[in-house]
Structure 1
Amino acid sequence: MEKFIYIALFAPLVGSLVAALFSMQPKNAFTGWFTSFMLAVSMIASLNLLQHVYTTDETLNVVLFEWIVSGSLNIPMGFVVDHVSVVMMTVVTVVSTMVHIHSIGYMEHDKGFNRYFSYLSAFVFSMLVLVMSDNFAVLFIGWEGVGVCSWLLIGFWYHKESASWAANEAFIMNRVGDLGLLLGMFLIYWNIGSLQYDVVFANVASLETSTLTWIGILLFVGAMGKSAQFPLHTWLADAMEGPTPVSALIHAATMVTAGVYLVIRSNELYALIPEVGYGIACLGAFVAIFAATMALVNNDMKRIIAYSTLSQLGYMFVAAGLGAYWVALFHLATHAFFKSVLFLGAGNVMHAMDDELDIRKMGGLHQKMKATSIIMFVASLALAGIFPLAGFFSKDKILEAAFNADAYILWATLWITAGLTAFYSFRLVFKIFFGKQNYSDEQFHPHEAKSFVIAAMLPLAVLAVIAGWFEHAFIDFVTKILPSWEASNTASSTVWILILVTSAIAIGGIAVAYVKYFKGDGFSKEWENKAIYKLLINQYYVPQFYEKFVSKPYYAMSVWFFKVVEIKIIDNTIDSIARFIYKLGTNIRVIQSGNLSTSLRLMVTGLIMGLVFALVLAVI
């Protein structure tokens, strides 16, 4: 099976390198189809590995080469395929393959077509390095790789100032989190002497609680940056400046879930520090409702879906923080399917509406885009957690985990968020596809996407429906290495009550959206003048806070350091040394007269000074 590991890992890299050969040439459809084919090869290899691990329970380890060997430090370029990593590999490659195929249609008329596919495949390769690594150092290589590729993809249309700014914001904010991850890795090596997962997790129990706490916090700081958790969250919505299929891949199924994967992978560490885990769960619950409230009023189609992703990541961290690691992984997988297809559907709508994003300027598109409408409707039902779609099974388990842990405030927060999620999801669908038409036929000419684009969306839509049906098989599979969480404190009747209550608020959210946006024209204009609306539409003024109290003071401090420290102190000091040496050389140059008598006198003088110096040293 070793060959399948290499095929799954390196097929996207081959596609990326081949596409890069054509990067400066005019659009060549070959690059799109070749990279998609290589992703399909990687997907098939991943599915083969999934079947092998499922049937044999065997963990596969390979060492590509010895990477860093220095003294006691030994870090191989090693990869592991076990019950957790193979699930991530499958999710990443399935979604990536469909996104690549969809992108062929979406980027059809873009001048950077070839370059786009090179970047996209390089991102998938980096993500696979991240999830397949068998140690923290190789994970960090993939971690930084997806960061670089996301910078390239978010700022793909670099001629737009907004795209360049968003790419830089995402890159810099992730570097803040990455510093935490690096410090956590340093602490691990300092105390254990290895970065190999198996060695680290076999020895964490021997560490002091304070050391474990710091390691857990620092690793989670890295997760906060990558998974856009408060306060490192503002980059995610701004990252919608990139091509929409990029959002379907990066901001739904892959990079933003890397932080959740890191916590799940480090479960043996976090199990020893439940207080840190509870803190993670509290922050996750806050982010869930925090992002959901911002999605309620936003009118940018992609930003609404981005805030939804942020909210659902909060759900995942609640499960992981409370020790229900397999539940977090389960929701990660189901969310990847329905959220990625929502983004791809949004891309279809953008093409149909000449890149329009304001949902207030849409309406009535169902008749002209029936396939996209139905797919996004089904994906929204899954996101809302309606039975029997995938989101129902995974989201309900997270609520059950919160209730079982006696974290009733967290449960109530997630329960309210479930209602908000259902409302804003169907506000989006009804405003786009139903209700009255809010555009002129002279201005826009909506049309359905190409058949192969819809075909690429269908597998994800089907998985958004049926993925939850495999809950018990998923539990049996991943709990071979993850803790087996069960709702031991919750009676069966209580579980059914929780399910009914959660389903009720989700259906209620859809009903309110139906009344307001399908039957009616939404809330009155007076609502937009209220303080709460202004608070939500301005993202709780967090970006303004960063601009006023972080960016501008940092810029002012940088200018001061440049003018005072850099120029007046450092540059002047160096220039003064240079002037002194030059002047000294000018003054001494006169002794190089070429006169033999003068040279002999200087030699004798030097000899006498040397003898005197030697005599003084001898006396001392």
Structure 2
Amino acid sequence: METLVYIALFAPFVSSMFAALFGMSPKQTFVGVVASLLLFTSFLASAILAFYVATTGMPVHVTMMDWISAGDLHIPFGFVVDQVSVTMMTVVTLVSTVVHIYSIGYMDHDKSFNRFFSYLSAFVFSMMILVMSDNFAGLFIGWEGVGVCSWLLIGFWYHKEDVSREENPSISPSWAANEAFIMNRIADLGMLIGLFIVYWNVGSLQYDVVFAALPDLSGSVLNAAAIALFIGAMGKSAQFPLHTWLTDAMEGPTPVSALIHAATMVTAGVFLVIRANPLFSMTPEVSYFIAALGTFVAIFAASMALVNRDLKRIIAFSTLSQLGYMFAAAGLGAYWIALFHLAAHAFFKALLFLGAGNVMHAMHDELDIFKMGGLKKTMKWTYIYMGVASLALAGIPFFAGFFSKDAIIETAFNEGTLFLWAVLVVTAGMTAFYSFRQVFLTFEGDERYKKYGIHPHEMYKFVLIAMSPLAILAVIAGFFMGGFEHFVTKLLPDYHMSEHTHHLALVLGLIVLVFAVGGIVLAYKKYYKGLVRDEKLENSFIYKLLANQYYIPNLYEAVITKPYAMLSEMMWKDVDMKIVDASVDGIAKFLYKSGDSSRKMQTGNLSNYLNWMAVGAVLLLVVAVISAMFV
């Protein structure tokens, strides 16, 4: 089993190093093929480990080597494969394998084909370190690793010109990469503080040691640690107010979007809360805040998706909304339900993004759904895939999202948080509406793309075949919910509905279903036959507010970015140039001038040298006499 742990972990690393060998070479298809095979090897190892943990109930714990030993601090390079980590390992490697195969077709004409696979595999390797580590320090290394890799991948097309935010809603990949990196660094400061609090009070960062010591800590320490760690989770999982980077990250290649949103990066924050559940279970106030914030983000993101025209950004807003559902479940104590929704969401969200990539590929990089329509005639399989994924996202029986999302909504009712329950129910209806709004405007109705001279075509067959496992799982994953609960609750708290909620489960499910079906019906009536522009609606305050993301990016630009840039320029001109640089330059000029003046003593004339020696001797005598007088 130890060998399988290392294979699962390091196969993506080998994949990245192999692709890096050809990073500066022209495109070689075998680089993508080998990288995909190595990722599939990692998936097989993860699946075997999952079977072992499920049948024996015993985690696999390996220590590769001692990593840090300084004073009382001892951190091994260790990994643990238990019910939580092996679930993440299997989901990450499965989705990553599909994304790698998909990328062979999607990046077919890109000049940096080989380099892309090196970055993509490094991304997966970092995520595997994050989920497999047996201590918070190892988790933090993977945490920073996915941050660096996301910066490389979001800004992969760095050669694209910058576009002003005021002139165009799209921005440059470099700007988006920097935004994601900086926002996550802000949040990571909070996480570091949380780790310092844990180590200062416990003396260790090993999960088992920390969790065993929690009952001995004061409430204030527990709350401070929980809040600080959750701030880190807010950055990685793009929770308000650190959310704007997630939609801007769509400037990267579509396979990157699928990987970030489905299996890596944004799920890390949810994983942290689930992994540290003993801490959050002991801080009910912090946990309720997590649930409330998650619920707010769910409806907040869904509202912006209602009017957005960019196909990838609509799906990105849906990710943000679904992350809110996951945090709502985790904050209410239903950690295993949050983990199940994370896994189910990974399958249909990856399928949605890859389908969007097919559309983008066919439409010559056009993403405005108002310029599409009627694509099902030429893209039948993509239409089916995105339709299935949208049904799962909308929570329609008996697709994957139906089981996991309904369980989260029932949890909110079960905990007596009726306001959160109502918000989540309404959000379910909004989710169904915007999901099928994009499907109908993209694939149904009149062929609006013709007037733009676009000739769409379906993606390569091997790409479509590679996407099929995600489609199958988006349909059937929900049926494994009972078995998953039995498997994962050997480690996580076994959350159950109360008898009162259990009797009302059918009624609660019907309420959610009415909202979901109502959203689809509304989208059907409005958009199935084609695009009908409502200028009065589009010019309304609410529409503009949603279309401009509540003007929050503009607010950040006006209140933070521009003042910071102005302050930096002022500090550069008035402090750096006039004080720091001027001091250094002044010292250099003094030494230069004094040296230039003193070198005139070097005349080459012996009598001059004897005169200077006499002057020096006199000066030495004077100094000696003065010193003798004061001693």
- Work out whether 1:212 is the aligned partner of 2:222: yes
Flag structure 1 segments of 5+ consecutive residues without an equivalent: none
Q: State the match for 1:157 in structure 2.
A: 157
* Counterparts in 2 of 1:292 and 1:614: CA distance versus 1, 3 Å: farther
- Check whether the contact 2:446–2:530 (CA below 8 A) recurs between aligned residues: no
Instruction: State yes or no: 1:561 paired with 2:568.
Output: no
2:504 matched residue in structure 1 = 494
Report how far residue 493 of structure 1 moved. Answer: 2.1
Amino acid in the other structure paired with 2:444: F
Q: Secondary structure at the match of 1:338?
A: helix
- Corresponding position: 1:466 with 2:480: no
Map 1:562-581 to 2 at 5 A: 562-581=572-591
How far does residue 579 in structure 1 lie from its aligned partner after superposition?
3.9
Q: Distance in 2 between matches of 1:607 and 1:423?
A: 97
SS at match of 2:448: coil
Retained in 1: the 8 A contact 2:24–2:115? yes
Q: CA deviation at 1:48?
A: 0.6
* CA shift in 2, pair 1:493/1:243, >3 Å: same
Q: Which residue of structure 1 aligns with residue 64 of structure 2?
A: 64
1:109 matched residue in structure 2: 109
Q: How many Å separate the matches in 2 of 1:201 and 1:188?
A: 10
Q: Does 1:246 align with 2:279?
A: no
**Count of residue pairs brought into register by the alignment:** 617
CA deviation string 1:405-433 (max 9, x = no partner): 11111111111000000000001111111
Query: What SS does the aligned partner of 1:125 have?
Result: helix
* Cα distance between partner residues in 1 of 2:209 and 2:502: 39
Q: Which amino acid aligns with 2:7?
A: I
Map of 1:359 onto structure 2? 369
Partner of 1:39: 39
The CA distance in 2 between the partners of 1:296 and 1:355, in whole Å, is: 22
How do residues 399-478 of structure 1 correspond to structure 2 at under 5 angstroms?
399-440=409-450, 443-478=453-488
Alignment of 1:324-363 (within 5 A): 324-363=334-373
CA contact under 8 A between 1:516 and 1:523: conserved in structure 2?
no
AA at the equivalent of 1:65: M
Look up the equivalent residue of 1:122 and give its one-letter code.
Answer: A
**One-letter amino acid matched to 1:46:** S
Give TM-score, length-normalised by structure 1: 0.96
Gaps of 5+ in 2: 163-171
SS in 1 for 2:62: strand
Identity percentage of aligned residues? 63
Which position in structure 2 is the counterpart of 1:78?
Answer: 78
After superposing the two structures, state which structure 1 stretch, 183-192 or 99-108, moved more.
183-192
> How far apart are residue 401 of structure 1 and its match?
1.1
Equivalent pair of 2:440/2:530 in contact (CA under 8 Å): no
* 8 Å Cα contact 1:122/1:149 also seen in 2: yes
RMSD: 1.9
Q: Secondary structure at the match of 2:151?
A: helix
Asked if 1:271 is matched to 2:281, the reply is yes
Per-residue deviation, 1:598: 5.6
In structure 2, the partner of 1:131 is 131
Change in CA separation of 1:611 and 1:66 when aligned onto 2, cut-off 3 Å = farther
**Partners of 1:442 and 1:487 in 2: CA distance:** 54
Where 1:84 maps in the other structure, the secondary structure is helix
Q: Which residue of 1 aligns with 2:310?
A: 300
The answer on 1:368 being equivalent to 2:378 is yes
Residue 575 of structure 1, CA deviation: 2.7
Q: Which amino acid is 1:321 matched to?
A: G
Identify if the C-alpha distance between structure 1 residues 334 and 604 changes in structure 2 by more than 3 Å, giving closer, same or farther.
same
Q: Select the residue among 532, 536, 543 that pairs with 2:546.
A: 536
Residues 611 and 179 of structure 1: is their aligned pair in 2 closer, same or farther, counting only changes over 3 Å?
farther
Q: What CA distance in whole angstroms lies between the structure 2 residues aligned with 1:69 and 1:604?
A: 61
The CA deviation string for residues 428-455 of structure 1, in whole angstroms up to 9 with x for no partner, is 1111111122121781222221111111
How many angstroms apart in 2 are the aligned matches of 1:329 and 1:474? 10
Partner of residue 173, structure 1 = 183
**Greater Cα shift, 397-406 or 607-616:** 607-616
Could you give the per-residue CA deviations for residues 52-76 of structure 1, whole angstroms, max 9, x where no partner exists? Answer: 1111111111122211111111112
Q: Deviation digits for residues 224-280 of structure 1, max 9, x if unmatched?
A: 111111111111111111111111111222111100001111111111111011111
Is the 1:73–1:194 Cα contact (8 Å) retained in structure 2? yes
Instruction: Give 1:527's aligned amino acid.
Output: L
- Measure, in 1, the Cα distance between the counterparts of 2:62 and 2:422: 45
Deviation at 1:583, TM superposition (A): 5.4
CA contact (8 A) 2:20 2:114 kept: yes
Q: 1:520 to 1:450 in 2, by over 3 A?
A: closer
Q: Report how far residue 332 of structure 1 moved.
A: 0.3
Q: Counterpart of 2:586 in structure 1: which amino acid? A: S
Q: Is the 8 A contact 1:253 1:335 kept in 2?
A: no
Q: Deviations over 1:285-327 (max 9, x none)?
A: 1110010000000011000000000000000011111111111
In structure 2, what residue type is equivalent to 1:314? G
- State yes or no: 1:506 paired with 2:516: yes
User: Which residue in 1 is equivalent to 2:144?
Assistant: 144
Which range moved further: 58-67 or 267-276? 58-67
Which amino acid in structure 1 is aligned with residue 233 of structure 2? A
Instruction: Name the residue aligned to 2:95.
Output: 95
Matched, 1:313 2:323: yes
Q: What SS does structure 2 have at the residue aligned with 1:484?
A: coil
Residue 418 of structure 1 contacts residue 505 of structure 1 at CA under 8 Å; is this kept in 2? yes
Shift in Å, 1:523: 5.8
The answer for the alignment partner of 1:398 in structure 2 is 408
1:330-355 Cα offsets, whole Å, 9 max, x none, are 10000000000000001111111111
